């Protein structure tokens, strides 16, 4: 297909610019607006606390693989709790698609809860199930929605976690917007279908009901806030809140020189073949508006590394909010300066039935490319690249002591890029910003068929520079029983990027050591049979450095040596000034 033909098929996403029919920012008092804004944030955080306390699975209550948020009637974000950033930018799509799935707003009633998990509407794989609850005032007025999205352990996909799906039908049972609760009454038949299509019905049931409880708390709190200030005052404050968020981001964008800035994202493969995948991301700045252009990316891949439109928009929202949001909790206004260009049928806008189980990996690489593009026009304002992955390994089998199936595994943090202000940290990549790594003691308790043998920083993994990239770390564990394993390792070929003379950090790496002593290097694999006694050896990669290594403070080099962050050989090679 020619470039002109491809461009004729483009889709341009623009944010909601709807204004409330009952609210006027000009009439809002700034002090009251701040109180309302924090009241809404408090309500969202209460939703988060309920879900964390009630959820069954560590992937929710420890790794925080979920999102909770409140939206107004027009699906504009009122408030969110800090959880998984990658989910937050997708929730407006979830609200609109879930409501449309049951027939529109006219079909809603107080007490309804909608279940929705279609990947092209949630932006995620089918295991990330969204609940949407309409919120009504006592007089029957619909004022908004309480919503959350959380990762379920299993929804009947070809495996409990997949890297090799070739269409969406292999990725799990899909709910296109169905009422789990009708007027406050549980639809037992819908719940039965959910549980019958899961290999892990007990934890899925517990997590689903925890999501329902979270939505109910959010709905109650939203009603309470509106009642406290009165409808007119509340909506006036909401409009002013949106306008303030928009003004904050536009003020930042106006400082970026107008122009088009490009960078390339990298993936090891698409889960089916082993050829590297590269794609171009362009950022266009014009005045106070930012347009992110994905029109030149490849067509949708045969394997599941395709990122649906909601998550493509989400990664752009996250990148912009993290740079320009003034450390504020974002609302709908913060997203108004952003436009996103995609091409339906491409890897950043797949259409049914194209696979998208591993949507998050293109998303992570796209954010890395966006920051790299901006680093060229905003020197010193953007950190260097991270190792760009979450180094996840999952496994499942049968626990003979408990006489039940088990499912385990988690993701691990990687080295972040250094900045003009200091060394990089060891954290999750930006789209997973609030995630946590469960303690090895917790994992051994929850999944007693594994034993951890190593848990430490990896020397020489951070990219050298005036400021060192964040360290990667080594995690090793042994399986005590036979299991099936899935690895979603990425960026094992392409290391982090440095800037201003800083060097790359170490790439990610996964080696499986068999009991007979044989070692196999693994990238992506699904359903690999692994015998008891095998050892997983993960090296999470390091972040890129900032500035020339010859400019690093000799005392900082000696401190790194003392703490074991670098070896003497590497220090002498990159920082001879510390040995003069």
Question: Does the structure show a pLDDT above 80 at 17?
Answer: no
Residue 253 lies in a domain: no
Backbone angles phi, psi at 218, to 5 degrees: -60, -40
Residue range 355-405, pLDDT digits in tens: 999 999 999 999 999 999 999 999 889 999 999 999 989 898 877 777 777
pLDDT at 326: 67
* 19 pLDDT above the threshold of 60: no
Tell me the pTM: 0.91
The whole-angstrom separation of Cα 512 and Cα 517 is 10
Domain boundary among the residues 176, 211, 244 is at 244
4-18, 47-61, 387-401, 565-579: which has the minimum mean pLDDT? Answer: 4-18
Predicted confidence at residue 198, as pLDDT, reads 94
Provide the pLDDT confidence category of residue 63 given band limits of 50, 70 and 90.
confident
As a whole number, mean pLDDT of residues 453-481 equals 95
pLDDT of 6 above 70: no
Residue 286 burial (CB count, 10 A): 13
Q: Where do we find the tokens 């040995």?
A: 579
pLDDT of residue 325: 66
pLDDT at residue 120 greater than cutoff 80: yes
* 124: pLDDT strictly greater than 50: yes
Total domains in the fold of the chain = 2
pLDDT at 430 over 80: no
Distances (CA, A) of 177 to 124, 169, 516: 15, 17, 50
393: nearest Cα among 280, 561, 524, 542: 524
Q: Does 543 reside within a domain?
A: yes
Mean pLDDT for the stretch of residues 536-547: 96
Give the pLDDT mean for 484-506: 95
- Asked if the structure places residue 464 within a domain, the reply is yes
ω before 353 within 30° of 0 (cis)?
A: yes
- pLDDT of 436 strictly over 90: no
Last residue of a domain, one of 244, 271, 302: 244
pLDDT for res 16? 63
Note the pLDDT of residue 324: 84
Query: What percent of the chain lies above the pLDDT cut of 70?
Result: 97
Strand partners of residue 80: 69
Which residues span the domain enclosing 82?
16-244
Q: What is the mean pLDDT of residues 461-482?
A: 95
The alpha carbons of the chain give a radius of gyration, in whole angstroms, of: 24
The predicted-structure confidence for 143-193, as pLDDT tens digits, reads as follows: 999 999 999 999 999 988 999 999 999 999 999 999 999 999 999 999 999
Question: Which pLDDT belongs to residue 1?
Answer: 47
Per-residue confidence at 218, pLDDT binned at 50, 70, 90? Answer: very high
Region of 91 please: left (phi>0), alpha (psi -120 to 50) or beta: alpha
Residue 511: phi and psi, rounded to 5, are: -120, 130
Token couple for 26: 């000009």
Nearest to 460 by CA among 420, 507, 500: 507
Q: Which of 38, 242, 71 is nearest to 148 (CA)?
A: 71
410's enclosing H/E stretch is: strand 404-410
Domain contains 192: yes
The whole-number average pLDDT for the span 465-493 is 94
State which of 211, 244, 277 marks the end of a domain.
244
The stretch 404-408 carries a mean pLDDT of: 77
Q: Which residues, in sequence order, are CB contacts of 79 under 8 Å at separation 6+?
A: 37, 40, 41, 43, 44, 69, 70, 329, 331
The mean pLDDT of 465-483, rounded to a whole number, is: 95
Would you say residue 366 lies in a domain? no
pLDDT digits (tens, 9 = 90+) for 286-341: 999 999 999 999 999 999 999 999 999 999 998 888 888 667 788 899 999 999 99
How confident is the model over 90-101, as a mean pLDDT? 95
Residue 21: pLDDT band (50, 70, 90) is low
Whole-angstrom distance, CA of residue 327 vs CA of residue 311: 22
Residue 313 inside a domain? The answer is no
Question: Which token pair is 438?
Answer: 């469960």
Q: Establish if 462 belongs to a structural domain.
A: yes
pLDDT at 252: 93
Extended strands (E) in 97-200:
113-116, 128-136, 142-151, 176-182, 185-186
- pLDDT given at position 330: 84
């Amino acid at each position: 297909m020619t470039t002109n033909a491809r461009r004729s098929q483009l889709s341009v996403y623009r944010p909601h610019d709807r204004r409330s029919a009952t609210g006027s920012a000009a009439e809002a008092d700034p002090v009251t607006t701040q109180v309302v804004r924090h009241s809404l944030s408090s309500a969202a955080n209460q939703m988060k606390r309920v879900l964390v306390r009630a959820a069954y699975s560590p992937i929710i209550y420890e790794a925080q693989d979920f999102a909770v948020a409140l939206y107004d009637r027009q699906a504009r974000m009122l408030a969110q709790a800090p959880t998984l950033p990658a989910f937050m930018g997708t929730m407006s799509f979830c609200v609109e698609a879930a409501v449309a799935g049951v027939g529109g707003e006219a079909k809603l009633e107080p007490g309804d809860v909608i279940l929705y998990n279609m990947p092209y509407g949630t932006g995620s794989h089918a295991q990330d199930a969204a609940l949407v609850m309409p919120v009504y005032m006592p007089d029957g007025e619909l004022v908004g929605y309480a919503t959350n999205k959380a990762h379920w352990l299993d929804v009947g996909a070809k495996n409990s976690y997949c890297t090799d799906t070739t269409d969406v039908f292999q990725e799990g049972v899909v709910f296109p917007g169905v009422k789990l609760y009708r007027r406050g009454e549980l639809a037992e038949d819908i719940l039965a279908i959910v549980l019958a299509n899961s290999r892990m019905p007990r934890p899925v049931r517990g997590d689903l009901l925890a999501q329902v409880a979270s939505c109910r708390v959010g709905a109650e709190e939203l009603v309470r806030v509106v009642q406290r200030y009165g409808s007119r005052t509340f909506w006036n404050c909401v409009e002013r809140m949106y306008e303030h968020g928009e003004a904050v981001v536009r003020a930042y964008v106006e400082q970026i020189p107008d122009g088009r800035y490009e960078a390339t994202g990298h993936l090891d493969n698409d889960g089916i073949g082993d050829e590297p995948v590269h794609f171009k991301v362009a950022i266009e700045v014009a005045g106070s508006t930012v347009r992110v252009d994905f029109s030149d990316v490849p067509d949708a891949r045969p394997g599941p590394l395709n990122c649906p439109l909601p998550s493509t928009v989400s990664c752009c929202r996250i990148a912009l909010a993290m740079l320009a949001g003034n450390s504020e909790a974002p609302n709908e206004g913060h997203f108004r300066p952003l436009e996103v260009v995609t091409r339906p049928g491409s890897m950043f806008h797949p259409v049914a039935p194209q696979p998208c189980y591993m949507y998050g990996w293109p998303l992570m690489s796209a954010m890395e490319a966006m920051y790299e593009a901006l680093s060229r026009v905003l020197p010193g304002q953007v950190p260097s690249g991270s190792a760009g992955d979450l180094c996840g390994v999952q496994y499942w089998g049968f626990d003979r002591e408990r006489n039940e199936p088990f499912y385990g595994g988690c993701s691990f943090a990687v080295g972040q890029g250094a900045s003009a202000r200091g060394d990089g940290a060891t954290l999750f990549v930006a789209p997973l910003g609030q995630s946590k790594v469960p303690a090895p003691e917790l994992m051994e308790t929850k999944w007693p068929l594994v034993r951890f043998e190593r848990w430490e920083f990896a020397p020489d993994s951070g990219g050298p520079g005036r400021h060192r990239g964040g360290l990667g770390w080594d995690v090793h564990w042994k399986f005590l029983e036979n299991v099936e394993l899935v690895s979603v390792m990425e960026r094992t070929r392409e290391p982090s990027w440095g800037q201003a003379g800083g060097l790359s950090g170490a790439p990610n790496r996964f080696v499986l050591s068999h009991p007979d002593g044989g070692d196999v290097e693994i990238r992506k694999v699904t359903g690999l049979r692994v015998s008891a006694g095998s050892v997983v050896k993960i090296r999470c990669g390091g972040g890129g450095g900032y500035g020339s290594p010859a400019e690093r403070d000799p005392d900082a080099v000696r401190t790194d040596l003392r703490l074991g962050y670098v070896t003497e050989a590497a220090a002498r090679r990159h920082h001879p000034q510390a040995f003069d």
